[in-house]
Homo-oligomer: A and B are copies of this chain.
Amino acid sequence: MATELHRQVNSPAKDLGKGDGSGDAAVRVRSLTRSFDGRAVIDNLELDIPAGEFVALLGRSGCGKSTLLRVLAGLDREIEGEVLVPRRKAVAFQAPRLMPWKRVWRNVLLGLDGRPGRAVAERALKEVGLGHRVDAWPKTLSGGEAQRASLARALVREPDLLLLDEPFGALDALTRITAQQLVAELWQRRGCAVLLVTHDVEEALLLADRVLVMDGGVIAHQIRVDRDRPRDIADPLLAELRTELLDRLGVKAPEPAAVHKVA
């Protein structure tokens, strides 16, 4: 779903995409391989994300995006290769993975340093539009509500690397725009690196500094989006990039997409 962000969002990392693994890298992956039952889902993958870069990751369903994210999060260590990531990471998984035995607000605060109060959780939940479900048990949340709670839980952390696995998939148009803005704001304020897995090409183009397409276990294609923010999906460059990406994903898309604004 195409969107134009309300507020001005500037990339804090002007030296975008050096990708040389220099001192200010946030992610450095060298010849990473991850196999399940002998099938290499990730196959000699190389990836560098400089600190502060916003990267979107596209790819066919089942191509290994979530697997890559789990490796970067340090959760999957049955790998070969070299992976360097910051200590402070925050993850929003594809499934919400809320602890069913903790009320929503406690889920948000789980694992945070320094015993933050309920107010912190309430603020974060209000931002994702869950102000009225603060005290609910996770299993009573709707699909989109659970996804937003999981997003809020990732965003209240102050990470150096933010890993988001299709965080807006179950959200309606309006809620999605709000959530996108939240991520963009955190990114801008904190200057963290972001890796966003998404299936929405327009979302990727509007948010990211760089868009990767994963295929065959490696980063098969990447494009840089050299446009200041706020971006407009009707922008000819973006429309062209969109066609290019959709093409890479196996879909033909000759005409530029429409732009819609928040009501």
CA distance A254 to B65 in the complex (A): 34
CA distance A143 to B170 in the complex (A): 12
Given known A-B contacts A172-B59, A173-B201, A257-B258, A36 and B140 have beta carbons under 8 A apart: yes
This chain's copy number in the assembly = 2
Q: Which residues of B contact A95 (CB under 8 A)?
A: 95, 143
Q: Which of A60, A65, A173, A200 has the most CB of B within 10 A?
A: A173
CA distance A189 to B253 in the complex (A): 29
B61, B173, B177, B263: which contacts A144 (Cβ < 8 A)? B61
Considering only CB atoms and an 8 Å cut-off, how many residues of chain A contact the other chain?
55
Q: Which of A130-167 contact B (CB under 8 A)?
A: 133, 140-145, 148, 165-166
Q: How far is the CB of A258 from chain B (nearest CB, A)?
A: 4
Q: Which residues of B contact A166 (CB under 8 A)?
A: 143, 170
Q: Which residues of B contact A234 (CB under 8 A)?
A: 255
Top 3 nearest A-B pairs by Cβ distance?
A: A253-B260, A61-B144, A255-B258
